[in-house]
Chains A and B, each alone.
Chain A
Amino acid sequence: MLKFQSRTKRVKPEPTIALINIVFLMLIFFLVAAQVAPPLEQGLDLVETSDLDGREPPDSMVILADGTLKFRGADVTPAQYVTVMQEETGELAALRLVPDRELPAVKLIEIGNELRAAGVETIRLVTERSLESGS
């Protein structure tokens, strides 16, 4: 009985160095493999493409599948979006849109025309590059 008690007292703590090694590895993995990005809308499936040039993650107006327009979490109209972007960037040469892949294309064209009527020259659609493209 005495022997048993002395044994339980000698249990060593878990090695901390091994834990730090793993956490360091995970940290470096996330630093290298991912890029910091503003979150997009929940439940948004981006259009998939395979052979477009890559670009940085967007901070743009999102169009959900039912045609709802969202910008940074709030409901907007095309005119409001144009105003906000004009105040932030000071020019209106190009704007980006992030449509859901199930959004009716007619609706997308309508919104594009509204933005053009508000003075935007170039409208670019942001898509998600699927894996087979390679980068």
Chain B
Amino acid sequence: MQLDQPFKRRRSSLTSLIDVIFLLLLFFMLSSTFSRFGDIELTSGAGGATSGDNILAFAMLQDTGLTVNGETVSVEGLAAFIDNLKAQNGTNGLVVSVRQSASSQQLVDLLVVTRGLEGVATQLIK
């Protein structure tokens, strides 16, 4: 008997819809991050095995800055400085002595630059 009655569409309740959307919103707000991550290889302590003679430049990294072969060099200017050395005497290695006062931020800044140096193997020592 009830089947005979015409089906009447009732307006569905908005409240449950809002509940679900709120839940989704909360989930994504709490579980997501806006940081963008990058990564860089930590150069191995052994360094690259270059064949033949090694002509090394010696860098020292500490909290006050970077010195290469005794001269103070900015991290941004390191690439140009090493290129200059390479042209002068064929430097093909860079030994970086990391002092106690140097922070990870400084080390990574340095690694970003040395990563782009072609034909120069970087070695980190304590």
Residues of A participating in the B interface, judged by any CB pair closer than 8 Å: 16-17, 19-20, 23-24, 26-27, 30-31, 33-37, 46-49, 51-58, 96-97, 99-106, 108-110, 112-113, 116, 122-129, 133, 135
- Interface residues of chain B, those whose CB is within 8 Å of chain A, are 14, 17-18, 21-22, 24-25, 28-29, 31-42, 44-45, 61, 98-109, 111-112, 124, 126
The answer to whether B37 touches A57, judged by C-beta atoms less than 8 angstroms apart, is yes
Chain A residues whose C-beta falls within 8 Å of the C-beta of B112 in the assembled complex: 49, 51-52
A-B pair count, CB < 8 Å, reads 145
Cα A103 to Cα B100 in complex, Å, equals 10
Main secondary structure, interface of B, reads mixed
Closest A residue by C-beta to B44: A116
Q: Which 8 A-B pairs have the closest CB atoms?
A: A52-B38, A34-B32, A105-B107, A101-B105, A30-B28, A37-B33, A105-B102, A124-B39
Please give, as numbers and ranges, the residues of chain A lying within 8 Å of B61 by CB-CB distance: 105
Q: How far is the CA of A48 from the CA of B126 in the complex (A)?
A: 23
CB < 8 Å: which of B29, B38, B44, B104 contacts A101?
B104
Q: Is the interface of A mostly helix, strand, loop or mixed?
A: mixed
Chain B residues within an 8 Å CB radius of A113:
45
Beyond A20-B21, A23-B25, A52-B40, whether A100 also contacts B104 by CB under 8 A is yes
Checking A20, A48, A57, A112 against B33 with a beta-carbon cut-off of 8 angstroms, the contacting residue is A57
User: Cβ of B14 and Cβ of A102 under 8 Å apart?
Assistant: no
